[in-house]
Structures are given as C-alpha cells and as structure tokens.
A = this chain, B = another copy of it.
C-alpha cells in the first residue's frame, strides 16, 4: 500500500449560489486545488454528493464534472453515504492512489441545496434516514437529531444551554474564514432566544442549508515531492464504519457506535491514541452531534462533552480545538461537500495557514464525517509528510 499525500486543496465560499450550477461550483474548487498542486489533469476524479439526483435532476456527476473541468476521458465516479459523502469520496480516492492503480487523484465534494429550499430539501435530507422505519412516520432529519438531544439531556442531566458553547465556538472561528457562510459571532443570549426548529433543537443548534464545493488533490508520497506543489500532507489513516440507520434499532442510542469504531480503526491504522490528536474537525451538523462525536471518538467522557465545551475545552486555545474554521455550524454544511471541507480545514491547520485561527504546533489533525444520525462514519487522520 503506497503512502498517500494531499498536495492541493480548493474551496468555494459557502453560501446561496443561485447563479452557479453544480458543475461550476465543483470546477471552481477543483481549479484552485490543481493550481496549488501544480498539475494540469488528474488521472481520476471522485465526487462526493448526496442530493443532485433529487434537487438538480442530475446523476453521473463524475463524468459531468470531469468534462466541465477540461478532463474529458479520465476515470470518474460519485461516492455517496448521505452527509458523509465527501468523506467517503475522499477515502475512495485515497484507496485508488494507495493501490497503485491511480497516480494523481482529484476529489471534490459538491452540493447545491438552496435552489429548492422547502419540502424538496427537507425530504431530500430525510433520505439519510430509514425510509421504511423512520421516514414513513413523517419524522424529519432534524427531528431525529432532536430525539437524540432530548435523550442526552435526560440521561445526563445536561441543560439545553450547555450546547450553546459549540455554536458560539463555531461562529467565533468562522469570522476569519473567507469561505465561511456565517462570519459573525453569536452570544449565549442569541442562542437562548433562537427560534425552535424541532424541540429541543433550535436554529442556532443547526448547521445551514447551503451550496458549496471543496476539492483535494492526492498523490503518492514520492510523486508528491517531485511535483513541487503545496507542502504535502500525509493521510495517516482512513477508516469507515457503519451502524443501522434507524435510531430505534441502535444498541446504544447515545454511543454513536460507528463513530467509535471508525475512530478506533483510524487510531490503530496511524498507531496513535486519541490524546495525540491536535485539531479535530468535528461533524457538528447539530450541536448534539458534536457532543456525541467527541465522546465516541475518545475526546470526552460520556455525557461530559457539552459541559466541557462550556469550560472552553474545545476552543482554539482549549485542549482540543474543534471546528477551527467555523465547522458545519458556521462555515456551512453543503451536505455532500462537507467531508472534503473538513479535510481542507485540517490541511490548512497542518500547513500553518490558518491565520488568526491557527492552532499552535498542530501536528496531527483529524476529520470525522457522519452520514445520517450516525449510520456511516468516516474518520481521517492527517499529518505533514
């Protein structure tokens, strides 16, 4: 298995891009990434996307985007695992390069959600849950997360306002990120007064509906050094694990079993412990998901993550900085693109290019991308090559 490195990243700002199509968004991110990498044309393209078939009537994004990027002819496919689509597309690219079948791989996560805001997006996002056992009852994706949050609050005696720390941290970190959707701080008072979406989840517990694309270029270590592009960042581990989709069928409702399995596999692959991670791009689609992911990954005791967040443990100057450039909450969560944005953020930190948000001495970075309410979880560990 060859060592695989990231030699270029690219992102579009996240927002409401009504004037840009999926292929345009993807192209902009890829263009920036290949320029950084110093290459003209990759050997293969892996696309992470969840909703284009439903919201844009467009399948086969691999070929569509490869052609629009000027790479007609190359290998190209789409990889999907609901909101973890970006992360699993990145993993597919890593595997292709590691196997020796592909030398230079491009990966792009892209999602366009705002053209059809309303029932279209809500029912689209619901496809991440079990159609036969969850959707059939009319429960939305937010409502499923609300059930988890309600149970967490009950089980551990944690008040709702404890979760505010995740949202406040994300917004604070987004201020200096030019690609973030919400570049403004929020207060505890604003959090408490936010409109309710699905009790106890309110607007500021939730990541936004948005559009965006993020890209990365991968190459084997030796070739990365020859190409002379951006400083290569090595993929130390790439691990996916799954759980049942339905919440009612989980063995341990608040355990986020797939996150635990995925993180443990990743630590094993890299030969490290959770304590060795210096920066963690967490999947904070909702504040409850940030807490569950931190606990399942070994970064906090069960039931303690929200309270620790209140104490500043996960701020830029805390013991484990998370959502360092805004996270899903404030940078934004264009679902199928998010996993690649997380990778790009970790790369930015490991290169020391995070400006005012730089985590000092960041040597090992982790990104964890979650599909559904925890049914597919993919964890990546990165370090400078």
Contact = CB atoms under 8 A, between A and B. Distances in A.
A65 to B, nearest CB: 10
A187 interface: no
- Number of this chain's copies in the complex: 2
Contact of A62 (B53, B81, B126): B81
A51 B80 CA distance: 12
A257 B75 CA distance: 13
B95 A99 contact: yes
Nearest to A47: B80
A130 interface: yes
Given A57-B123, A77-B81, A242 B92 contact: no
A212 interface: no
A91 to B, nearest CB: 8
A230 interface: no
A196 interface: no
Contacts of A75: 239-242
A137 to B, nearest CB: 13
Given A98-B99, A101-B98, A127-B59, A240 B77 contact: yes
A132 B56 CA distance: 9
Contacts of A249: 67
Interface string A87-103: 01001100110111100
A372 B1 CA distance: 33
B241 A58 contact: no
Interface in A269-291: none
> Taking chain A's interface residues, is the majority helix, strand, or loop, or is none over half, making it mixed?
mixed
A282 B44 CA distance: 24
B76 A242 contact: yes
Interface string A17-28: 000010000000
A78 interface: yes
Interface centre among A21, A242, A249 (most CB of B within 10 A): A242
B63 A99 contact: no
Contacts of A217: none
Contacts of A54: 53-54
B243 A60 contact: no
B64 A82 contact: no
Contact of A60 (B21, B80, B101): B80
A270 to B, nearest CB: 13
A126 B63 contact: no
A367 interface: no
A77 B243 contact: no
B95 A101 contact: yes
A62 B242 contact: yes
Given A1-B99, A92-B92, A128 B79 contact: no
**Which 4 pairs across A and B sit closest by C-beta, in order of nearness?**
A99-B99, A63-B242, A59-B127, A63-B375
